Copies of this chain bind each other. A is one copy, B any other.
Amino acid sequence: MPIDELDGRLIELFTAEPRVGVLEASRRLGVARGTVQARLDRLSRDGVIAGYGPEIDPAALGYAVTAFVTLQLRQAGGHDPVAKRLAQVPEVIEAHTITGPGDMLCRVVARSNTDLQRVIDVLVDVAGVERASSVISLATQVAYRTLPLVRASARRAGRTGGTRPGEGGADGAKPGERPPG
């Protein structure tokens, strides 16, 4: 939770170039390899870094259409059974229970607008779903991102300066080295 400036730079680096590796990162950031390793371990342990899985682009898979579907549920039964059914639909990429007039908000993808109709029909068919109203995403103006958040968090939390006893060395932190990739 207390992200410091080095953590921020670390995340930034790994977001920009995920394949750099610990050693290369230590060189780029000008810190010892052990430090990078320790930071990464801590960030993972604290849950800030949830994982490193490959990011799959549904569009590249042929699911060109994204839509947000608001579901209204029958009062009886609750959300969980519905959520369980929704989870079985591959096209449901994400689902939240929400405040307001609707009960659940789902992000779904489909191969085309025609295909979207099919997907929506599947959702409406789920037991407990009363109505569904959907809006189609025409364009993604801001793609999912967390970096600005990381930067903001890193800035506010103090602990900015680290220990700088010396420079140079064999294993890590060679200042003038040009990175390979």
Q: Which positions in A face B, CB cutoff 8 Å?
A: 1, 3, 11, 14-16, 18-19, 43, 46-63, 66, 68, 79-80, 83, 86-87, 89-100, 102, 104-107, 109, 133-153
State the oligomeric state as a number of copies. Answer: 2
A-B contact pairs, 25 of them (CB 8 A): A11-B56, A14-B53, A14-B54, A46-B60, A47-B57, A48-B56, A49-B54, A49-B55, A51-B54, A51-B55, A56-B147, A61-B149, A83-B141, A90-B148, A90-B152, A94-B143, A95-B140, A96-B138, A97-B139, A98-B138, A99-B135, A99-B136, A102-B135, A106-B142, A107-B144
Q: Please tell me if the beta carbons of B55 and A105 are within 8 angstroms of each other in the complex.
A: no
Contact of A153 among B16, B61, B94 (CB under 8 A): B61
